[in-house]
Amino acid sequence: MRRLLHGFILALAAAHCGATAHAEPTHAIAMIGEPALPADFASLPYVNAHAPKGGGVNYAWIGTFDSINPFIVQGSGARGSLDLIFGNNVFETLMMRSADEPFTLYPLLAETIETDDQRSFAEFTLDEQAKFSDGSPVTPEDVIFTFGLLAEKGLPRYGVTAKKIAKVEKVGVRGVRFTFKQPDRELPLILGLFPILPRHAIDPETFDKSTLKPIIGSGPYRLETVKPGDSLTFRRNPDYWAKDIPSKRGFDNYDTVTLTYFRDENAMFEAFKKGLVDVLIDENSGRWTSQYDFPAVTRGDIVKDTIATRMPSGMLGIVMNTRRPVFADPKLRAALIDLFDFEWANRTLFSGAYTRTKSFFDNSDLSSYGHPASEGERSLLAPYPDAVTPEIMADGWKPPVSDGSGLDRAFMRIGFEKLKQAGYVLQEGRMTAPDGKPVAFEIMLKSNENQQVAVAYQQTLAKLGIAMSIRSVDAAQFVARQKDYDFDAMFFNYTASLSPGIEQLSRWGSAGRETKSTFNYAGAADPAIDAMIDALVNARTREEFIDAVRGYDRVLLSGAYVVPLYFKPEQWVAHWKRIQRPEIAPLQGAQLPTWWHAAN
């Protein structure tokens, strides 16, 4: 155990010794502000607390798997056991995240959490009812064992969290306290989302090896059948310990959950049409708008649900690697951004299904788009007077708009004028930089992903003498070059949440410019970015947080690192009408574990 816990001091004592920070235990914790629900809440607001139990559901996923352990690096882990989409069916975490709040946790394995104002520690008290599926109680020893096991042999993110912990100790009969090396406002919530495994049923020596043998958890389902690479079937545990606690009312309504893997989208869609798949989360705009004309839809047996979300868009875009000389000039990058003809691409390639992305946090109140910088933002940005352009400070970033014809000269002129003002010259059909070199770069694709968009962009740039070549590489080579920053430009999706936090350092922190294998693919190194990340991580009030995130958004947009592409402000979910859902969709969109099988 000592080896597994990296030298953490584990005091499995009945009580604390010496002076420790103290606060009162609470039923919930929020990243910013207070939880929305009181301690005596009956259920989460987006569920049908009286949803019928029974029947089964068949889900689908593209790919394959050779392991059912979702916690380790080795192998392609199967989905469904601990899953943001299909639910935490087998494994549970200390606390449960509400999908109707930016970042708030409510009771699950732990009935309370305690932390101080500085958030220098987090103490969890386990629910005395909490049990694993074999009937064994969930204990503080299981929590401490899991923390050490995952730190040593789990995915890297567990190790990153473990490095922030100075001490883990048992408190009383049912408590576990984590003492931090330094105060961290997000860390209590990250620990609250730690999964807990049974110490008595895990062999630490073989834990990091791929396996197809089911692992015991405390969740509502047991993994019943594994067909390697093909499918998994989960069966509900009739003795599930948490079926009546408020956090889980209205969840886990099926007797069985089956997840089938498909090699490609066409095969998956055909299976859905035949009724072999019950629910299909569709990301294909062309299919959504034109391929749902088969009999089951026209008869009304299949429902097409468009579910609005209030989640940030994130930033799907073309990342320009500023480590490469061609992209060292931010004025060139800004002009290239203005030359992406979204209106033509959306009309021609996507049947008008998308919205132009105008912020890293579009579609939410964290976005700077349409908002003049507040006094709070201006105060944060004052030490960095050149970090944000006047236009973006005044009202966010507003992209030029074309007429959608692909031949809009006025649209092209906007980017061209920016290039001229920056000293670029069009000579004999080639755009030339101030140093006399032609403007040329390569965009790297993973296989054929985004090829249509890349070709469209290539054609637009060619009209101004900018030579953009396209190189498709296989998935393994793409990842290797990505890690080494061995590319000029590439497509990447910076996902976003309503609670951006310390993960932003890996994406945009200055240290990532010279450190391999971070997500700072653009090579940004700007003290203003670092300062905004620090401000958002340490914000105490909602107002401070919004100011920090909007200021961060403005700095990133002003730096012109990414050509913003598009997003859809809703989810597309098709399902057979035998599968029904609650009337209320939460802030974060569809929550499949709250749906149910309707009686015939």
Q: How confident is the model at residue 173 (pLDDT cuts 50, 70, 90)?
A: very high
Task: Sketch the domain layout of the chain as residue ranges.
Answer: 9-44+80-201, 221-310+570-597, 315-563
Q: How confident is the model at residue 157 (pLDDT cuts 50, 70, 90)?
A: confident
Is 112 within 8 Å of 124 (Cβ atoms)?
A: yes
Over residues 445-467, the mean pLDDT reads 95
Higher-pLDDT residue of 32, 319:
319
Question: Where are any strands of DSSP class E within 13-150?
Answer: 29-30, 56-62, 95-97, 104-107, 110-114, 121-126
**What is residue 163's predicted lDDT score, i.e. its pLDDT?**
95
Report the top-level CATH class of 221-310+570-597: alpha beta
Q: How confident is the model at residue 22 (pLDDT cuts 50, 70, 90)?
A: low
- Residue 125 in this model has a pLDDT that exceeds 90: yes
Give percent of the chain with pLDDT exceeding 90: 85
pLDDT, tens only, 202-247: 999 999 999 999 999 999 999 999 999 999 999 999 999 999 999 9
**What is residue 64's predicted lDDT score, i.e. its pLDDT?**
87
pLDDT, tens only, 479-522: 889 989 999 999 999 999 999 998 999 999 999 999 988 999 99
| The model scores a pTM over 0.85 | no
Dihedrals φ, ψ of 520, to 5°? -80, 65
Q: How confident is the model at residue 11 (pLDDT cuts 50, 70, 90)?
A: very low
Give percent of the chain with pLDDT exceeding 70: 96
**What is residue 1's predicted lDDT score, i.e. its pLDDT?**
47
Higher-pLDDT residue of 59, 4:
59
- Residue 276 in this model has a pLDDT that exceeds 90: yes
Superfamily of domain 315-563, CATH level 4:
Dipeptide-binding Protein; Domain 3 (3.10.105.10)
pLDDT, tens only, 134-143: 999 999 999 9
* Distances from the Cα of 556 to the Cα of 330, 388, 527, angstroms: 12, 8, 12
pLDDT, tens only, 290-338: 999 999 999 999 999 999 888 899 999 999 999 999 999 999 999 999 9
**What is residue 447's predicted lDDT score, i.e. its pLDDT?**
84
Q: Which CATH architecture has domain 9-44+80-201?
A: 3-Layer(aba) Sandwich (3.40)
221-310+570-597 has the same fold as 9-44+80-201: yes
**What is residue 600's predicted lDDT score, i.e. its pLDDT?**
52
Q: How confident is the model at residue 8 (pLDDT cuts 50, 70, 90)?
A: very low
Q: Is the dihedral of CA 257, 571, 95, 194 positive or negative?
A: positive
**What is residue 286's predicted lDDT score, i.e. its pLDDT?**
86
Burial of 484 (0-12, 13-18, 19+ CB in 10 A): exposed
For helices 409-421 and 330-338, give the axis angle rounded to 10 degrees. 180
Over residues 165-189, the mean pLDDT reads 96
Give the three-state DSSP class for 9: strand
